[in-house]
Amino acid sequence: MAIEMRQQMKMVQQLVMTPQLQQAIKLLQLSRLELQDVVRQELEENLILDEALDQEESPEAEQFELAEKEVSPEGEGETPDFKEVQAGEETLREMDWDTYLEGYNYSAGEQYYEDDEDRPSYENILTKKGTLFDHLMWQLSLTRLTEEETQVGAEIVGNIDEDGYFRASLSDVAAACNVEEPFVEGVLARIQEFDPPGVGARDLRECLLIQVHQLDMQDTLVETVVSLHLKDLENRKYKQIAKSLGCVVEDILLAAKIISSLDPQPGRLYGQDDVHYISPDIFVHKIGEEYVVVLNDEGLPNLRINPLYSGDWKTTVQDSKVEEYVSDKMRSAMWLIKSIHQRQRTIFKTAKSIVKFQREFFDKGIEYLKPLVLRDVAEDIGMHESTISRVTTNKYMQTPQGLFELKYFFNSGISTNGGDFIASESVKNKIREIVESEDPRKPYSDQCLAELLLAHNINIARRTVTKYREMLRIGSSSERKRFF
């Protein structure tokens, strides 16, 4: 067959991912704090975009229904939730500029906070936490040492990690300070007397021995067990240790109890893990017998189009490049305002749907959490599952039952003996409750947990219990067993 070139016309329907559409999708899955950063950056870069100082409710808010219609799904199946929106000159002329000029409050809910007393209180307002390095250097400055010892001590402190262990070698410190190794070891011994007890140790055994000595328990069974049988103690070979030391098992158990009270990570009290504060996107309040969903708009700037560019601004512009630049910034600002509004409305509708499906959870607690999948909410509010997935990412809801991520309310279902279904999170919570109430000397095996769940009409296999227990980071029965 001969190869030839020819023209052919055909009609194809496809989604065009414009930069504006990509921005709308990106905004949909951002958290509140991330959204604030994006808006602040846009305010700095776009001269058309302005922040209204007065947080007023715009009476023309219903004008934004157009935005929702343009990004709502059409049809079923794999139809995308977003369509390309052309923001040309005709769109600019047709927009109601008063809506943008007056500013728009992004809360799509019907209830608003009138004063700060209605908002949840913020606790744990923390200043910068002192580091282990600062704490040790402060003690070093109060210790009577020579200038050379202080220099070596500072080098040693600089090589102590966040767990409190000295991670360098004596030879490295000696070479850095131009001194002999015995001299470094003497300074290290002084630092090992610092607070917290056990700091400056080179391994776990030395860390525990330092704490044993500070408890004045030298030449005792505790010191002997730590020095000679730490590995056997970790594996709970109490009888083997007792036989080796020629004593009774009860004495070993008593020594093990004392050792278990020591701190294997003395520096963790000064850990510098960042404190992450969660700012809820939605508040759910019970008023009478109904639950009211309120969007949290605190911290979101009230955006509008800069008044300087309202009206017939083109008459004052003589340069075509300037006109094109301002028009481009105008379209970008309009799209950002529209996208944020659509984002807030979608979050609001998703939250209302979740509250409707999980009403018993809000009334009675986690045991009444129902199985729920993305499709249920998507069909309820007329959107695609992918949109619901994006909306529930990094979004949090403050409820009468506590603070939860929106994804928490979506669970697979497990059948009960009564023919009903129970959420997997409820099953995990029941396993946690059973383990917390068990006798630590006789912990339940996974098979026993499965039998106990069956008594509560929850029929799941032992391997499923094992999976859920591991997800809850609960050890096996042998790991949970306590001898004292």
Between CA 20 and CA 29, with CA 25 as vertex, the angle to 5 degrees is 145
SS3 of 72, please?
coil
The residue whose two tokens read 């009334």 is: 363
Strands (E), 255-318: 282-287, 290-295, 303-305
pLDDT at 40: 87
Residue 313 buriedness (CB in 10 A; 0-12 / 13-18 / 19+): middle
pLDDT of residue 300: 77
Residues of the chain with pLDDT under 50: 55-114, 122-127
Q: What is the pLDDT of residue 393?
A: 85
In this prediction, residue 275 carries a pLDDT of: 59
Contacts made by residues 455-463, CB under 8 angstroms, sequence distance 24+? 456/430, 457/416, 457/417, 457/418, 458/414, 458/416, 458/422, 458/427, 458/430, 459/415, 459/416, 459/417, 460/414, 460/427
Give residue for tokens 């506590």. 402
pLDDT for residue 3: 78
CATH annotation of 412-480: 1.10.10.60
Nearest-angstrom CA–CA distance, 3 and 395: 56
Angle, CA of 182, 210 and 254, to the nearest 5°: 150
Q: What is the pLDDT of residue 5?
A: 83
The three-state DSSP-derived secondary structure of 374-421 is HHHHHHHHCCCHHHHHHHCCCCEEEECCEEEEHHHHCECEEEECCCCE
Q: Model's pTM, two decimal places? A: 0.58
Inter-residue contact 163 to 267 (CB < 8 Å): yes
Place of tokens 């730590």: 226
| Predicted local distance difference test score (pLDDT) of residue 83 | 37
The Cα 280–Cα 394 span in angstroms is 10
445 Cβ contact partners less than 8 Å away, ≥ 6 residues apart: 477
What distance in Å separates the CA atoms of residue 87 and residue 337, rounded to the nearest whole number?
Answer: 13
What digits encode the pLDDT tens for the residues 268-301? 888 655 556 778 889 999 998 899 999 988 877 7
State which amino acid sits at residue 157.
V
DSSP one-letter string for 171-220? HHHHHHHT--HHHHHHHHHHHTTSSSTTTTBSSHHHHHHHHHHHTT-TTS
Helices (H), 235-319: 238-245, 249-260
Residue 26's CB is within 10 A of a number of other CB atoms, namely: 15
Query: Which residues of the chain are in CATH 1.10.10.60 domains?
Result: 412-480
CB 401, CB 285: distance < 8 Å = no
